[in-house]
Amino acid sequence: MSSGPVVAMVWQGLDVVKMARMMIGETNPAESLPGTIRGDFCVDVGRNVIHGSDSVESARQEISLWFRPEELTCWEDAAERWIYE
């Protein structure tokens, strides 16, 4: 995270850590599927372009490194009740 510009963000949603990890791909880009961020844009583990928390607990800790609580906004999508049971 010190080799170039960083965009820090917080995602929310149902099983968000699991879903984010699926989109990001395996830590080792060689093991990442095509269509994942690491599978399409990474070559080396040490330069894997993206980081994603591996659990809700580590996400909370990592979020606090970048954001103060008052900078975070939780929101509810109006369509959520039509999508999730």
What pLDDT, on the 0 to 100 scale, is given for residue 85? 78
Please write the tens of the pLDDT for every residue from 3-36. 778 899 999 988 999 999 999 999 999 999 999 9
Domains of the chain: 16-71 (3.30.70.141)
Q: Which of 44, 51, 55, 57 is catalytic?
A: 51
What pLDDT, on the 0 to 100 scale, is given for residue 78? 85
Mean pLDDT of the chain: 91
CA angle 28, 36, 20 (to 5 degrees): 90
Told to judge if 51 belongs to the known catalytic residues of this protein, a careful annotator would answer yes
What pLDDT, on the 0 to 100 scale, is given for residue 33? 96
Please write the tens of the pLDDT for every residue from 30-39. 999 999 999 9
